[in-house]
Amino acid sequence: MSEVVFANEMDEEMTLNMGPHHPSTHGVLRFIIKSDGEIIRKAIPDVGYLHRSIEKIGERCTYQGYMPYTDRVDYVAAMFANECWASACEKLMGIEVPKRAQYLRVISCELNRISSHMVALGAMAMDIGAITPFPWALREREYVNDLVEELCGARLTYNYHRIGGVSFDIPTGWSDKALHFLDNFEPAMREFDRLITLNEIFVKRLGNVAVISAEEAKDWGLVGPNLRASGVRWDLRREDHYSVYDDFDFDIPIGTGEAGAVGDCWDRFNVRVKECRESAKIVRQALAKINDYPEDDILGKLPKKIKPDGEAYARIESARGDMGCYVVGRGAAEPYRVRFRTGSFTAMGIIEAKSPGLFLADLVALIASFDVVAPEIDR
């Protein structure tokens, strides 16, 4: 009889709180975990701790005045939110963006993609237990921050894009500094592979962990690197042909299952590593071609009164995937409705479905592999 009682006690389910102030949740996020010892039965995301009414603020600002607020949609990759808002407004008002301004948008966004992925890769390695890659990645990110600061005056919340173009042209000598960074960054990524990406312990730790098939990724609405890591070659820069991305030659990295199954945590890490290299290629090509267009031609012709009537939806390929912005105008200086769609929010849905059977430590790897940021979840 005592053996039966002992077995029932050992089988008792525990309810654990992970967050909302936990370093591995990558923001103010909470997960309610039902576990049997170290084995998770269910992990339920509980979001809403960082809600700031960012969309309602957009309905109380002018179209141009809302641009600084869009930096707060994703503070790790704010350039993309700038572009998404500007693109939606341009579509609504029929504004044509000069080619030079479009090249500047590509350069600024791809540099921001590199800096965002550096945070994601370094933080994921640190979450798993490898401390050295994080300051290594931050070093490369600081080089990008220096470049972007010289371009627009800010290092985190940029407010660089404008409806119809961008706020500043390239400063004198900036292109040479950017190329110098790229000359050092590309070999540095090979060093990063030796340091962590292809590290035997790291590969075995993440291979076959939290595998997401291509069908599951599409069914749950995953986007960006999280979708491509499952073997789906989908990138809005190619599929939607927006901006001037058709002018550049670059690859779309996808998961190949080198460490285990296609769509595991290691694939999600490795896809971001490869995307950094592709972004570097794009920036090189853009810097080579931008001088084909007149200097200071960085802002299109705007209406005398910005009081549009109608609705528009624009989407771009952010560092976290498909970011969309929906805007409705009713003939006033302020939008009637503003709505953002983000990759981090869609990634949260699949965590509950993929968590049963994982170890608690594997949940940390799963969350880190999605590269979620809390502001994109709570708007």
- Count of domains in the chain? 1
Q: Is residue 7 part of a domain?
A: no
Write out pLDDT tens, residues 196-230.
999 999 999 999 999 999 999 999 999 999 999 99
pLDDT of residue 64: 95
User: b/e per residue, 228-261, with b = 16+ CB within 10 A?
Assistant: bbbbbebbbbeeeebbbbeebebebbbbebebbb
State which residues form the domain around 196: 50-377
Q: Is residue 73 part of a domain?
A: yes
31 Rama sector, left if φ>0, alpha if ψ -120 to 50, beta otherwise: beta
Q: CA-to-CA distance for 106 and 79, rounded, in angstroms?
A: 10
Q: How far is CA 198 from CA 93, 266, 268, in A?
A: 48, 10, 14
Q: Is residue 81 part of a domain?
A: yes
pLDDT of residue 1: 41
Q: CA-to-CA distance for 107 and 83, rounded, in angstroms?
A: 12
Q: CA-to-CA distance for 42 and 98, rounded, in angstroms?
A: 51
Tokens of 175: 């292109």
Q: Is residue 37 part of a domain?
A: no
Please give the radius of gyration of the chain, using alpha carbons only, rounded to the nearest integer: 22
CA 249 to chain CA mean position, Å: 21
Q: Is residue 310 part of a domain?
A: yes
Q: CA-to-CA distance for 322 and 343, rounded, in angstroms?
A: 6
Q: How far is CA 115 from CA 82, 131, 144, 174, in A?
A: 16, 18, 6, 18
Residue carrying the six token digits 């970011």: 323
CATH of the domain at 89: 1.10.645.10
For residue 193, the number of C-alpha atoms closer than 13 Å in the C-beta half-sphere is: 13
Q: Is residue 3 part of a domain?
A: no
Tokens of 277: 């290299």
Q: CA-to-CA distance for 185 and 162, rounded, in angstroms?
A: 29
Q: Is residue 24 part of a domain?
A: no
pLDDT of residue 19: 77
| 284 within 8 A of 179, measured Cβ to Cβ | yes
Q: Is residue 333 part of a domain?
A: yes
**Strand positions, DSSP E, the chain:** 14-18, 30-36, 39-46, 161-162, 165-166, 309-318, 321-330, 337-341
pLDDT of residue 2: 39
Q: CA-to-CA distance for 17 and 85, rounded, in angstroms?
A: 36
Low-confidence stretches of the chain (pLDDT beneath 50): 1-7
Write out pLDDT tens, residues 283-335.
999 999 999 999 989 999 999 999 999 999 999 999 999 999 999 999 999 99
Q: CA-to-CA distance for 325 and 341, rounded, in angstroms?
A: 6
pLDDT of residue 11: 63
pLDDT of residue 339: 95
Q: How far is CA 259 from CA 250, 262, 264, 269, in A?
A: 24, 8, 8, 11
